[in-house]
């Protein structure tokens, strides 16, 4: 380790925290929030934001941080800044904060290259490890990835990652392939993205028997760190040690090269976390605390992150080029025009639409000003979220290559190893975050965007992050879990309601299901849901109701075709969404019929103001 790491501010108060200021330094905006203890609970009280200042002409991330905190100062009347310093700890009820904490994804976040021996075994484990640590994985190299040796070397040469994670082999297994990969990396002499003169951080987390050879080959050429094997045996992943090393090296090496980060690290009272790692941490905490299976999506301007926790297993993926501004044009390229247009309730010629999307790409900070522009952006968001989930499903899998014990009862139901862990029928909660979901003019718009993109099955609750504060709460949870939980429950999560979506298909107007909703005051709402219906039933936040659904003979709500279910469902700012459009969701192929259906659905849930 050639670069000494500045220690975070050592003035961390030992007494309980009462006032906390937290920032998230994003690619374009630095968002600051103030958290205060009000009575016995913590609340998020003020927020401020300012453009991120990593780039020229400022080239100092702390300028943006200080500007965002200055906005909080103005709004709250609390004096937090003393020149360019944050006043810690609190001096009196109106001066200072007890701690300052931050996350960061500025400058393109943490970009990593990972290597393994077998692509869908150690290659995938390494990928999951890096993604879980909050990185964007720019390539996965493996001995069997189909590329010839010289192609691999050429690829490593041309990439400029912030860090490399090497894995491969189980402990005690053959060393040849992993040593071969080390030789390729050594020959390629990879260079880091930032800073021409420092050594690229490289973590080796493969077969421990190959450590001496790897040290010999790469010890001089990279800032090499050896850690436990991420796949010590085929049947088990051990991602935590390598993930911790990634976080350490992120702070010690990568962030040292980014403008102003040395100062930022010194200002902060806890280690700076990569934004997605902090969001993942808070999602994992909620899921474990409430014993939920959940999917979280954070759709940003450049990337879409998907997090899932199923049966306690956490996974994260990042779709690096699916986003609503910088990468909006790539959503069009990947989804195709027809997939986007299927959500738009009017017609528009292709050339105009393509030019509009490109104009958003080159001027990413603009916002829709007319209703039709808003509807087009919502259509694009549906496709970005849908594609990101497909990507997530492909990586959030059980371990591949593991032998399975089978019994005679499995004869007719044999499954391959490495099946996706995402089971939409077992999904309890969908959490949405990111500008397009958090700031949609009507909350029902966020709900329908997620329902259309994810097609939840059976009974699923939905929520959004009110003002995008999950990163702040993620890092806060590392130092004060109570404060993070209080703010998360009271100020961050906005419960939208619950979606009830029967599985099956039928002609529009055919019976899909009958339902009885029993409200807390004893009132009953009985109704028939036909195929093609979308219905909204008000049920306020904090209220619970009981719903019994009798599906039609060929329709399933999770208990089996035609079998009724009774569930307690929770309300939200939108309510209960009864979705009779069928699963899988199929839109009419004919353009006029599709526009008619979309208009009918959108009116049924009062999605947009009347034009």
Partner 1 sequence: MAHSYTPGLTVTEQTVIHRRRILSLPGIVLVTTGEIVRANQVVARAELPGKVYPLNLANLLGVAPDEIHEYVIKKAGDPVNKDEILAENKPLIKWFKTEILSPVTGTVESVSSVTGQVLLREPPRLLELLGYVDGRIVEVIPQQGAVVETNCSLVQGIFGIGGETRGEIVIAVTSPDEAVSSRHITSGMKGKVVVGGSFISSDALARAKEVGVAGLVIGGIHDKDLRALLGYDLGVAITGTEQVGFSLILTEGFGTIPMAGKTFKLLSAHAGQPASISGATQIRAGVIRPEIIIPRAAGTSIDHGATGIPRREGIRIGDQVRIIRDPLFGKIGEVSGLPSDLQKIPTESDVRVMEVRFEDGSKTVIPRTNIELIEGA
| From 47-55, 222-230, 390-398, 508-516, span contacting partner 1 (CB under 8 A) | 47-55
Chosen residue from 19, 20, 22, 50 binding partner 1 by CB under 8 A: 50
Residue 191 Cβ, how far from partner 1 at the closest point, in Å? 6
| From 392-400, 434-442, 453-461, 544-552, span contacting partner 1 (CB under 8 A) | 434-442
Can you tell me whether residue 72 is helix, strand or coil? helix
CA angle, residues 299, 300, 302, in degrees to nearest 5: 120
What is the token pair recorded at 443?
């909350």
> Among residue numbers 84 through 113, which ones bind partner 1 (CB under 8 A)?
106-108
Kindly report the length of the chain: 611
Kindly tell me which of 74 and 290 has the beta carbon lying closer to partner 1: 74
Which residues have CB under 8 Å from 239's CB, separation 6+?
125, 128, 129, 132, 230
Q: How far apart are CA 150 and CA 64, in angstroms?
A: 44
> Among residue numbers 295 through 354, which ones bind partner 1 (CB under 8 A)?
301-302, 321, 326-327, 329-330, 332-334, 351-352, 354
Kindly tell me which of 282 and 388 has the beta carbon lying closer to partner 1: 388
Residue 495 Cβ, how far from partner 1 at the closest point, in Å? 21
What is the token pair recorded at 233?
């045996």
Residue 218 Cβ, how far from partner 1 at the closest point, in Å? 12
Kindly tell me which of 157 and 600 has the beta carbon lying closer to partner 1: 157
Which residues have CB under 8 Å from 316's CB, separation 6+?
131, 132, 134, 276, 280, 305, 306, 307, 308
- Write the binding mask 137 to 156 for partner 1: x where contact by CB under 8 A, - elsewhere: ------------xx--xx--
Chosen residue from 13, 89, 364, 527 binding partner 1 by CB under 8 A: 364
> Among residue numbers 372 through 401, which ones bind partner 1 (CB under 8 A)?
373-374
Chosen residue from 155, 191, 199, 247 binding partner 1 by CB under 8 A: 191
Report if residue 55 touches partner 1, rule: CB under 8 A.
yes
Which residues have CB under 8 Å from 23's CB, separation 6+?
30, 31, 32, 33, 65, 68, 69, 100, 101, 102, 103, 472
Q: How far apart are CA 312 and CA 8, in angstroms?
A: 32
Kindly tell me which of 302 and 483 has the beta carbon lying closer to partner 1: 302
* Beta strands 99-104; 19-25: pairing state: parallel
Report if residue 359 touches partner 1, rule: CB under 8 A.
yes
| From 356-364, 408-416, 426-434, 470-478, span contacting partner 1 (CB under 8 A) | 356-364
Q: How far apart are CA 319 and CA 327, in angstroms?
A: 10
Can you tell me whether residue 334 is helix, strand or coil? helix
Kindly tell me which of 359 and 394 has the beta carbon lying closer to partner 1: 359
Kindly tell me which of 83 and 609 has the beta carbon lying closer to partner 1: 609
Kindly tell me which of 176 and 404 has the beta carbon lying closer to partner 1: 176
Q: Which of 454, 334, 332, 302 is nearest to 385 (CA)?
A: 454
Report if residue 197 touches partner 1, rule: CB under 8 A.
yes
Report if residue 588 touches partner 1, rule: CB under 8 A.
no
Q: How far apart are CA 510 and CA 579, in angstroms?
A: 14
**Across-strand partners of 548?**
516, 566
> Among residue numbers 220 through 259, which ones bind partner 1 (CB under 8 A)?
none
> What's the gap between Cα 260 and its chain centre?
26
Burial of 89 (0-12, 13-18, 19+ CB in 10 A): middle
Q: Residue 7 is inside which H or E element, if any? A: none
Kindly tell me which of 327 and 485 has the beta carbon lying closer to partner 1: 327
Residue 151: CB atoms within 10 Å: 12
DSSP state of 251: I
Return the beta strands (E) in 161-303 as ranges: 163-166, 201-204, 223-226, 273-274, 294-299
Torsion of CA 401, 407, 408, 413, to 10 degrees: -50
- Write the binding mask 117 to 136 for partner 1: x where contact by CB under 8 A, - elsewhere: --------------------
| From 268-276, 370-378, 402-410, 413-421, span contacting partner 1 (CB under 8 A) | 370-378
Instruction: With CB under 8 A as the rule, give the number of residues binding partner 1.
Output: 65
Q: How far apart are CA 17 and CA 88, in angstroms?
A: 11
Report if residue 183 touches partner 1, rule: CB under 8 A.
yes
Chosen residue from 439, 526, 544, 591 binding partner 1 by CB under 8 A: 439
Residue 527 Cβ, how far from partner 1 at the closest point, in Å? 29
Residue 184 Cβ, how far from partner 1 at the closest point, in Å? 7
What is the token pair recorded at 591?
């353009």
Residue 100 Cβ, how far from partner 1 at the closest point, in Å? 21
> Among residue numbers 284 through 303, which ones bind partner 1 (CB under 8 A)?
301-302
Report if residue 361 touches partner 1, rule: CB under 8 A.
yes
Residue 52 Cβ, how far from partner 1 at the closest point, in Å? 9
| φ and ψ at residue 487, rounded to 5 degrees | -70, -35
- Binding residues for partner 1, rule: CB under 8 A, are 27, 49-51, 54-55, 57, 67, 71, 106-108, 149-150, 153-154, 175-176, 179-180, 183-184, 186-189, 191, 196-197, 213, 301-302, 321, 326-327, 329-330, 332-334, 351-352, 354-359, 361-371, 373-374, 439, 441-442, 609
């Amino acid at each position: 380790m050639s670069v000494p790491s500045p220690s975070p501010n050592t003035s961390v108060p030992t007494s309980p925290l009462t006032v906390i200021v937290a920032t998230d330094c994003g690619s374009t905006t630095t968002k600051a929030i103030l958290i205060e203890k009000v009575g016995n609970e913590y609340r998020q009280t003020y927020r401020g934001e300012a453009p991120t200042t990593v780039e020229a002409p400022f080239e100092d991330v702390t300028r943006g941080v200080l500007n965002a905190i200055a906005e909080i100062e103005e709004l709250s009347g609390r004096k937090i800044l003393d020149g360019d310093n944050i006043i810690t700890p609190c001096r009196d009820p109106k001066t200072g904060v007890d701690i300052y904490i931050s996350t960061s994804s500025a400058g393109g976040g943490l970009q990593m290259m990972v290597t393994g021996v077998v692509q869908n075994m150690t290659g995938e484990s390494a990928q999951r490890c890096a993604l879980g640590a909050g990185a964007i994985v720019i390539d996965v190299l493996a001995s069997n990835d189909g590329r010839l040796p010289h192609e691999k070397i050429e690829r490593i040469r041309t990439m400029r990652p912030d860090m490399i994670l090497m894995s491969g082999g189980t402990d005690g297994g053959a060393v040849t392939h992993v040593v071969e990969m080390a030789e390729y990396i050594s020959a390629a002499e990879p260079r880091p993205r930032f800073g021409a003169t420092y050594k690229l951080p490289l973590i080796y987390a493969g077969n421990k028997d190959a450590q001496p050879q790897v040290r010999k080959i790469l010890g001089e050429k990279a800032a090499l760190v050896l850690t436990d094997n991420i796949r010590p045996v085929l049947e088990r992943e051990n991602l935590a040690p390598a993930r911790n090393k990634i976080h350490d090296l992120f702070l010690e090496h990568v962030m040292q090269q980014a403008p102003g980060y040395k100062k930022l690290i010194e200002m902060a009272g806890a280690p700076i976390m990569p934004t997605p790692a902090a969001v993942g941490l808070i999602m994992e905490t909620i899921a474990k605390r409430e014993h939920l299976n959940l999917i979280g999506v954070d759709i940003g301007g450049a990337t879409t992150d998907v997090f899932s926790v199923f049966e306690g297993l956490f996974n994260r993926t990042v779709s690096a080029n699916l986003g609503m501004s910088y990468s909006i044009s790539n959503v069009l390229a990947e989804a195709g025009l027809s997939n986007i247009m299927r959500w738009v309730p009017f017609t528009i010629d292709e050339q105009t639409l393509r030019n509009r999307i490109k104009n958003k790409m080159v001027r990413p900070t603009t916002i829709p000003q007319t209703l039709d522009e808003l509807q087009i952006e919502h259509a694009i968001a549906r496709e970005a979220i849908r594609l990101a989930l497909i990507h997530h499903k492909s990586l959030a899998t059980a371990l591949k290559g593991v032998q399975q014990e089978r019994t005679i009862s499995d004869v007719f139901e044999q499954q391959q190893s490495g099946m996706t862990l995402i089971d939409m029928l077992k999904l309890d909660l969908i959490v949405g975050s990111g500008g397009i979901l958090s700031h949609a003019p009507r909350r029902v718009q966020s709900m329908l965007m997620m329902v259309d993109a994810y097609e939840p099955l059976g009974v699923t609750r939905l929520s959004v992050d009110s003002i995008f504060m999950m990163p702040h709460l993620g890092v806060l949870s590392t130092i004060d879990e109570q404060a993070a939980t209080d703010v998360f429950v009271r100020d961050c999560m906005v419960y939208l309601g619950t979606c009830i979506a029967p599985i099956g298909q039928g002609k529009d107007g055919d019976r899909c299901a009958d339902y009885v909703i029993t409200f807390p005051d004893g009132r009953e709402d009985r109704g028939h849901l036909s195929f093609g219906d979308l219905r909204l039933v008000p049920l306020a936040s904090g209220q619970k109701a009981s719903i019994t659904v009798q599906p039609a003979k060929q329709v399933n709500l999770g208990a089996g075709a035609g079998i009724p279910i009774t569930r307690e469902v929770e309300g939200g700012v939108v309510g209960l969404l009864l979705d009779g459009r069928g699963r899988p969701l199929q839109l009419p192929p004919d353009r006029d019929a599709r526009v008619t259906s979309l208009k009918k659905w959108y009116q049924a849930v009062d999605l947009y103001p009347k034009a």
